[in-house]
Amino acid sequence: MILYLDTSALVKAYLTEPFRQSVLSAISKAEVVASHMLAYVEAHATFARLLREGGLAEPQFEVVKKEFTADWANYMQIGTTQSLTQRAVDLCQAFALRAYDSVHLASADFLLKQSGEIIVFACFDRKLNRAADVLGLSLLDSSR
């Protein structure tokens, strides 16, 4: 099983948030954990925002950032190609998605088509999960 994490799911592995245990459990069961490379930037932006807003103290911020950066090398990182970008355009139009959400969906869809394996899509956005379900991706139970 390949677990695809959009940024909303990815950051839960590093922050004390609802559904954190569900994400960590899914990560531990997955043969491969994947995400698009933009999640690296989005996660760091989330951590920095939490530091600015007081949701993370400086020591916590440094630990979270260090752990995430170290773990990132173990994730399958999906890069941007012209065909993936075009698929994201098609998906954002078909499902009225935000730009980065459509990139994550296109990345998971790419894995589904290329691997022939079960892809579990972990996301905490209802609209994006509905689109993923239509495309035939399995959903992380707690993220529906």
Would you say residue 144 has pLDDT above 50?
A: no
| pTM, to two decimals | 0.95
Give CA–CA dist 122/129, Å, rounded.
8
**Residue whose pair of structure tokens reads 């951590």 in the numeric block:** 47
Give CA–CA dist 9/137, Å, rounded.
15
Number of structural domains the chain divides into: 1
pLDDT band at 117 (very low <50, low <70, confident <90, very high): very high
Please list, in sequence order, all residues whose beta carbon lies within 8 angstroms of the beta carbon of residue 25, skipping any fewer than 6 positions away. Answer: none
Strand intervals (E) in the chain: 2-5, 32-36, 76-78, 119-122, 138-139
Residue ranges making up the domain that contains 69: 2-143
Say which CATH number the domain at 19 has.
Answer: 3.40.50.1010
